[in-house]
Amino acid sequence: MNASRNVLGSTIFFSRWLQAPLYFGLIVAQGVYVYHFMLELWHLIAKATSITENELMLTVLALIDVVMIANLLVMVIVGGYETFVSRLNLQNHPDEPEWLSHVNAGVLKVKLATALIGISSIHLLQTFINSSNLPQHVMMWQVIIHLTFVVSAVIMAWTDRLSSMPILRSSDTAH
């Protein structure tokens, strides 16, 4: 009975490696984003002398959006792999991200929510710059979605903070 529990426990623990191909797939997706960024940058450079200011702002915001999504991918790939699959053993590496040393599932969720708010903010700014070409209900829904991201992130951060607070026992408060 004890041996079968050990085998079951080891199998369950080993199953975390099934996530490794998923993180590799995200690395491939990041490569696609790099390609998309370079293509957009090339188009911007090619029409630099004939582009309007609004088109320039929208294009630059699109480039920023790609960079922010790439940052989100890095957080998910590095932080998720480190948290759920295996340690990266980057101690004392000069390029180790500062946030990686204290990442856990709660911190990762809050960082991801914050990144999504940033991405949503860029989309909202693009919408407002291009507002004359968009129906009002589209803008309203984008604001509602953005506010939902903000409220969700605040609730996640608050929940994470509550879960990391020390638990007071009734005997601790009696003194």
Q: Write down the pLDDT at residue 39.
A: 95
Q: Would you call 165 helix, strand, or coil by DSSP?
A: coil
Assess whether pLDDT exceeds 80 at residue 91: no
Q: What is the pTM of this model?
A: 0.72
Query: Rounded CA gap, 50 and 56, in Å?
Result: 10
Helix then strand then coil, % of the chain, to nearest 5 = 80, 0, 20
Higher-pLDDT residue of 4 and 168 is 4
Q: What is the 3-state secondary structure (H, E, C) of 99-145?
A: HHHHCCHHHHHHHHHHHHHHHHHHHHHHHHHCHHHCCHHHHHHHHHH
Domain ranges (residues) in the chain? 18-166
